[in-house]
Amino acid sequence: MTVRTIKYTIMHIAASALAAATLFSLSACGRKYDLPESTEDELRAVYVMGEHEVPYEQFRYFFLNYTDEYEDVEFDKLKEMTRGALLRIYATLDLAAEHGIDYKSGEVRKKVEKTLEDSIENDFGGVDNFVSGLGTAHMNASVYRFILSEFECDGRLFDKLCEEGVIKTDDDAVIDAISDGEFCCAKQVLIMNDPGDDPEENRKLAENVLMQAQLGVDFDTLIAENGEDMDMITKPKGYVFPRGQLIEEFENAAFDLEIGELSDVVESPIGYHIILRCELDPSYVEENFDELAEAYRASKYYELVSKRVSELTVTETDYLKSLSAADIK
């Protein structure tokens, strides 16, 4: 399993990892279809984020998908991850509204409904298969419409910020960012906490790998013998990335290192990382400039959304405080 690249962030699947993974394997309904409406309980507010009331049905979708993906994660941590995903979505919608893009507008809704209708008819072959797919994804039609609306606004916002020059798109901006140290190059030995693994045993293995690296064992050899990140095979020079592109714990640790420096054992939701920061090869930059330019623009967008995340007030409702893990199903 790789250090997964997502549009905004890394594990804050915010409108992202879980959303993207499930979202595009499904599709919601067009208004011409008679599907169950959300219940009163599904619509009860669990958070107030800025001026937005967040319904339980949206919380449930992310919470249960995180529960499926990460075994043995404590309830409070799952809540924290879910809160982060929802906050990033609502921060995006808040910023989009500031730039004249409303997820409830007729233009966005029309696009969403057309997408949903086409998918029910062409991808699922009917409403029954579609409804079954929603249940598998811990989702209902309302949540799917919402997520798809956010995704549409997200793309429109990104394009508009580029068109308006808020996000620089010229080559010089990318070159300056590389020169100013806004990109990092790093390799890793990843020890994953797969289902059924003993995390403590994996940590001991990671600590042993780190000790070998500190004693001078070739890092590429350690990757080959112990690493579970298959991208390290296809990326022998390492990952090259700006902020906001990879798993948060990996990314933060890598940027904190000096070139040639090793990290300690870094824990993330997927396992343990031993990271070596590498020098950025000019030939790699030249050969992969278009890809780096795209990553740069996504990073700048991530910064703007993250700023809005930090600005939104968040209040947890008494209803959410009353729920236990067993209640969320």
Task: Assess whether 34 and 81 both reside in one domain.
Answer: yes
The CATH number assigned to the domain holding 64 equals 1.10.4030
Is residue 79 situated within a structural domain? yes
Of residues 208 and 23, more confidence is placed in 208
What residues contact 81, with CB distance under 8 A and at least 6 apart? 11, 12, 13, 62, 66, 73, 269
Taking residues 39-65, report their average pLDDT.
96
Q: Under a CB-based contact definition with an 8 Å cutoff, are residues 134 and 196 in contact? A: no
What pLDDT was estimated at residue 122? 86
Q: Which of 12-21, 116-125, 282-291 has the lowest mean pLDDT?
A: 12-21
User: Is residue 9 over pLDDT 50?
Assistant: no
**In 3-state terms, what secondary structure has residue 245?**
coil
Is residue 261 situated within a structural domain? yes
**In 3-state terms, what secondary structure has residue 45?**
strand
- Measured in degrees and rounded to the nearest 5, phi and psi for residue 160 equal -70, -40
Task: Assess whether 159 and 223 both reside in one domain.
Answer: no
Is residue 316 situated within a structural domain? yes
* Long-range interactions of 37-44: CB distance < 8 A, separation 24+: 37/142, 38/140, 38/142, 42/140, 42/142, 44/317, 44/319
Percentage of residues in the chain having pLDDT higher than 90: 71
Is residue 70 situated within a structural domain? yes
Residue 25 carries which side chain, given as an amino acid letter?
A: S
Confidence of residue 31 (pLDDT cuts 50, 70, 90): low
Is residue 68 situated within a structural domain? yes
Residue 39 carries which side chain, given as an amino acid letter?
A: T
Task: Assess whether 119 and 36 both reside in one domain.
Answer: yes
Domain that holds residue 70: 17-169+306-327
Provide the token pair at 105: 């507008």
Q: What is the tens place of the pLDDT at every residue in 255-307?
A: 999 999 999 999 998 999 999 999 999 999 999 999 999 999 999 999 999 99
Task: Assess whether 29 and 100 both reside in one domain.
Answer: yes
The CATH number assigned to the domain holding 200 equals 3.10.50.40
User: Is residue 173 over pLDDT 70?
Assistant: yes
Is residue 34 situated within a structural domain? yes
Provide the token pair at 262: 């090793």
Task: Assess whether 193 and 224 both reside in one domain.
Answer: yes
Q: How many structural domains are present in the chain?
A: 2
What's the chain's average pLDDT?
A: 88
pTM attached to this predicted model: 0.81
